Every structure is written in structure tokens, then in C-alpha cells.
Structure 1
Amino acid sequence: MTDQSLLSVGLRCRCPRCGEGHLFKGFITLKPECEACGLDYGFADPADGPAFFIMMTMAFPVTAFGIWLELAYDPPFWVHVVLTLPLLLLACVPVIRPLKGLFIASQYRNKAGEGRLAVPASSRAS
């Protein structure tokens, strides 16, 4: 990612190295490699990070709105189906793909990987 910004490639869901290839082959299914530069996406493991941040920033306030609506006005169930459920879906679903792309670009930029135990130098020499 020489001249590509982390936000640019992450939010556009592009390859973190070249900025041209696509990250996903479906909605959020990661491709095995970049079609433009051949970068192996095996390093990418955003796990549940994007879902957690979306739940905390988007789903929590919408759910709180639904609870407030219920307690303040006691509407029939169909009001929640028509109002709260679509609001929840619109707040969460469109954001997951760019946020996952941002997490993957960040992993690439920071060379993030699985943790490894450090082996003391004295045990390596023997």
C-alpha cells in the first residue's frame, strides 16, 4: 500500500497492497487472493471484530430506541416489525462489508498475525 490510504482501500473493499483487486467474492466472503496483484488473503482474519463494533455503535442505539418506543407508547407488535426491525437492518447490514474491509487493510498494514510464544534464547541454543 504505497500511495493507497488505509481508509480508501478498506472502505472500498479493495486489495490492501495494490488497491485495485476486490477483497470479497460475495457479500462478506473473502476471496483467496487478489485478482490484480496476487496477494494471498490468507493473513486476513477479522473474526468477529466488525460485528462487535457494529453491534455496539449501531445495534445498541436502535435497540434502545425500540425499547423506548415500547415503554413510552406501548404500540402493537406490527409497529416494531415495520419500524424497529428495518431500522436495525439498515443501521447494521450496509456497514459490515466496508468495516470488514477496513479491518483487513489494517491487518495488512500493521502486519498483524497470530500470537506466538517467545522462546528464550537459552533454550534455542541447546
Structure 2
Amino acid sequence: MTDDSMHTATSHTQTERPLWPALARGWRRRCPQCGSGPLLSSYLKVNDTCKVCREDLSHQRADDGPAYLTILIVGHLMAPLLLLVFETWRPDPLVLFTIFAVGCVALSLYLLPRLKGAIVGFQWARHMHGF
């Protein structure tokens, strides 16, 4: 058996799952399979199974991926904005710190569960980590 035929044989054993709908459902913190059931039971805890379609979600392992992506996005948005605000208006340092600290925390808290859902949706669509 050649490498190409082995790859074809293994790829046909798993059903194709659409990537973009799974990512969008995960971003909305919904089950990547049905899009109806909640993906998370608390802020970052993934449900073991979907309450609607009974899809097994217990094998997901997002690990540090959502945190790294959150830091990457928040840093790339806030650093240029910080420079722009400082160069344009020259606010008091304490005011600048307060505004950007609150902004960074708020944006991080908003993005973290959504990015975790998107990573779980990606893993589900690609049959990764036990799905």
C-alpha cells in the first residue's frame, strides 16, 4: 500500500466537518455540532456533552491557546492605540494608565471565552484530541 492510498483510506473513515461554521459556533460559545446547546458551563469550563445534540465534548484540550491568542490580539490592538492617544493628547500618566488598564482587562475578559470556543470548534471540525 502506498502512502497516498493509506492517507486516502484513513481520511475516508472520518466524516468531513465544516470548519467555518464550527469556528463561528464556537465563537458564539455554542456547540460546534448543532449550534444550539451551550458550549461552556461557566466562564471557561467546557460542558462534557452538549445538552441538545449529546455530542461528546469531554476530550477537548484548548490548554493555553486561548490565553496566548488573547494576549496577542489585545497587545496588537492596545499598544498602537496607547501610542496614538499619548502622542495626540498627552494625557496625565495616571489617567492614561487607568483607561488602558481597564480597556485591556475588559477586552481580555470579552475575548477569552470566545477564543476558547473557537479553538474547541476548530478541534472538533478537524477531529483533534479525541473528537
TM-score normalised by length of structure 2: 0.69
Identity %: 20
- Structure scoring higher RCO (CA < 8 A, sep ≥ 6) equals 2
Which residue does the alignment assign to 1:84?
Answer: 100
Q: Deviations over 1:74-126 (max 9, x none)?
A: 83435412x11111112221111111111001101101127xxxxxxxxxxxx
How large is the Cα RMSD of the aligned pairs? Answer: 2.7
Q: Deviations over 1:41-92 (max 9, x none)?
A: 12211111011011012135425655884xx9583435412x1111111222
Moved over 3 A (4+): 63-69, 72-79
Which residue does the alignment assign to 2:8?
Answer: none
AA in 2 matched with 1:5: P
Cα distance in structure 2, aligned partners of 1:88 and 1:50: 15
Does residue 48 of the first structure (1) align with residue 54 of the second (2)? no
Q: Deviations over 1:18-37 (max 9, x none)?
A: 22111111111111211011
Alpha-carbon contact 2:66-2:115 (below 8 Å) kept = yes
Cα distance in structure 2, aligned partners of 1:8 and 1:84: 29
* Secondary structure, counterpart of 1:53 in structure 2: helix
Which residue does the alignment assign to 1:17?
Answer: 33
TM-score normalised by length of structure 1: 0.71
